[in-house]
Structure 1
Amino acid sequence: MIYYFSGTGNSYKVAAQLAQSTSTKLADMSSVAVDVPVCDDAVVGFVLPVYAWGLPVFVEQFVKSLPRGVRHKYVYAVLTCGDDMGYADVLLRKALRRVGWQLDAVYVVQMRNTYVCLPGFDVDSPDVQQRKDRAFGQRMTHVATCVANRAPFDEREVLRGAWPWLKSYVLRPLFNKLLISDRRFSVDASVCSQCGACVRRCPLGNMRMGADGLPQWHAGKCTHCLRCYHICPHHAISYGKFTRGKGQVKINL
């Protein structure tokens, strides 16, 4: 079984290819979060994006809901990130340990940048995106081989980046406290076509269409995946002034 969470499609792409390579079933965390099934597979994987050098808030909640004390022969995680991951794997290992699960190995796959909600953060340039695309196939072949062989943890398989402790243990808590909120999301009524794509595709059901035909947030379940921002066909959604002039990525889910 591979449990995955994906906001803009990066982690889904990894999970789908890994499932095909290893003949494994997929389970979307956002679909099974209410009642996580007990998985008796010998090999269990988690595929998820790195948010602020840590875990998405939703994934933290999902891990807490896992059946406790279940033993598997091999548990691994594949983390996707645009640049680096800090100590996100350590945070995941600790979260799993609290429910009696052991994380045996971690792999990182560098994907397209999708975070656009702070100054200096934007989608990748075409050249950077092409470089990542070229490296993707080879990296996935390597990860699938390691999983098939139940390889142990290897520090060379992760991408911590500069100042990982500062990022994961100082900046990340501040980020979660100050920025993980849907309060700054808004829609430009002059551009919005009222197609409802953002509402239908929100993975956590955090949106609805208002009486005026425009999308609304504020259901208290936002994990800041930015799917609503990137999926809008008219680029009508913004996150305060942070996303002014920022790009979008194509959603493939």
Structure 2
Amino acid sequence: MVFYFSCTGNTRWAAKRIKYFTGDNIVDIAAECKKHGGSDKIHEYTLDSDEPIGFLFPIHGWRPPLMVREFISKLRITNAQGRYCYIICTAGDTVGEAVDIFQKDLAAIGLKADSAISLIMPESYIGLPFMNLDNESSEIHKKMQAHRILTQFIDSILDKQRGIFNITKGRWPRINSRLLGHAFVNWIIGDSKFRVDPDRCIHCGKCAKVCPT
């Protein structure tokens, strides 16, 4: 069973690739939270025979997304003991200690990831002055690399290989995840400053349709 959270489509792409090759069920975390009126409800699932457990999410402020962490705290999986478990996180560049933070969240509900990778995908967050979108050449390169790395990791999922931790932490993982991540959670992540430029918006509705929150 694959639990995934996607904002702009990068992580959803990875989840669907995994489903295509493994046949595992995929669960959209945002959709589940909306269906049950938020993330406070206990989320219960039962695994098929020998089914692995996967968690896929983008990086928000060098941490797992808040909605994902809240969902995990209320997650209950029948027959999860001893199952192969893995993490895939997507990011525009580095992920810091996001996987370490998520491992602690998993430990709180009796799970532990056996393997984890990060996929560097086209940049989709420009919330601060030094953050910019990729040019077309960079986007193509990142997509090709992500496709290659994910394809290799899917083989590892099928073989249930443990001990694979191919994560792009960056130069200052602790500072980014703990210090800057704290600032992101408290003062940056949220929708209070969301605005639409009326001179550029064409009212297609795409942003509202794909937004997980």
- TM above 0.5: yes
Q: Is the 8 A contact 1:112 1:124 kept in 2?
A: yes
1:159-206 superposed Cα distances (whole Å, 9 cap, x missing partner): 1111111111111011111101211111233443444433333322xx
1:117-173 superposed Cα distances (whole Å, 9 cap, x missing partner): 101101112221121122233212111011111111234x11111111111111101
SS at match of 1:27: strand
Distance 1:140 1:178 in 2: 33
Q: Is the 8 A contact 2:44 2:77 kept in 1?
A: no
Q: Is the 8 A contact 1:43 1:72 kept in 2?
A: no
Q: Is the 8 A contact 2:7 2:210 kept in 1?
A: no
Q: Does 1:124 align with 2:134?
A: yes
Q: Which has the higher helix share?
A: 2
Matches within 5 A, 1:1-253: 1-33=1-33, 34=36, 36-41=43-48, 42-67=51-76, 70-155=80-165, 157-204=166-213
Deviation at 1:72? 4.3
Q: Is the 8 A contact 2:8 2:211 kept in 1?
A: no
Give runs of ≥4 in structure 1 deviating > 6 Å: none
TM-score by length of 1: 0.75
1:63-93 superposed Cα distances (whole Å, 9 cap, x missing partner): 1110178424211111111111111100110
Q: Is the 8 A contact 1:78 1:109 kept in 2?
A: yes
Alpha carbons of structure 1 residues 113 and 191: separation in structure 2 relative to 1, 3 Å? closer
Distance 2:110 2:3 in 1: 17
Alignment RMSD, CA only? 1.8
Distance 2:130 2:15 in 1: 29
Amino acid at match of 2:196: V
Aligned residues: 203
Q: Is the 8 A contact 2:55 2:88 kept in 1?
A: yes
Amino acid at match of 2:60: Y
Alpha carbons of structure 1 residues 131 and 190: separation in structure 2 relative to 1, 3 Å? closer
Q: Is the 8 A contact 1:115 1:121 kept in 2?
A: yes
Larger radius of gyration: 1
Unaligned runs of 5+ in 2: 37-41
1:20-48 superposed Cα distances (whole Å, 9 cap, x missing partner): 11111111011223352313243011111
SS at match of 1:58: helix
Alpha carbons of structure 1 residues 78 and 8: separation in structure 2 relative to 1, 3 Å? same
Q: Is the 8 A contact 2:30 2:212 kept in 1?
A: yes
